Amino acid sequence: MKLKRMGATVIAIALLAGGGATNVTYAMESQEQVLARVDYQEITPLWNSIADISPSISAESTTLYPEVYIKAKSSSGSITGTMYLEKYAYGSWTTVTSWSLKGTGNVFLSKSYRGTSGVKYRARVVVDVDGENAVAISGTCEI
């Protein structure tokens, strides 16, 4: 229980900081299980079907490159979901576009999108692996 509270505190601090370091902070939730990564220290949830979810985002000039790697614990695990590109405006995150993903065992999805200078973006992934649901959010990227 103490570990769960610590994970929630780490996520709250990361969200308040606004993800100042690109691709260094991300958070995941699966029901009441939390994974937080801050400066390469991880608290890992006890998923039954999911081995890994790793969203990230980078940019070159005004082109954004959101991507995600998802791995099931079973090589025959069914993976479905959606990766969302979101922008921060007026105090909240809104969806810019999205891409579906589907596969067995593991999935890697990488896309590109022409963004707007001066805007902060992130990738958010909603995934189902053999009936187990999780949400993962990348760090932020401002172009």
58: Cβ contacts below 8 Å, ≥ 6 apart = 22, 23, 64, 65, 141
CATH superfamily of 28-34+45-142: Immunoglobulins (2.60.40.10)
Q: Where are the domains of the chain?
A: 28-34+45-142
Mean pLDDT of the chain, nearest integer: 81
Q: What is the pLDDT of residue 42?
A: 53
Angle at 69 between CA 68 and CA 73, to 5 degrees: 145
CA dihedral 28, 30, 31, 32 (to 10 degrees): -60
What percent of the chain is predicted at pLDDT more than 70? 69
The DSSP code sequence of 27-46 is: EEEETTEEEEEETTEEE---
pLDDT in tens, 85-116: 999 999 999 999 999 999 999 999 999 999 99
pTM attached to this predicted model: 0.71
What tokens does 68 get? 């995600």
Min mean pLDDT across 26-30, 38-42, 94-98 is at: 26-30
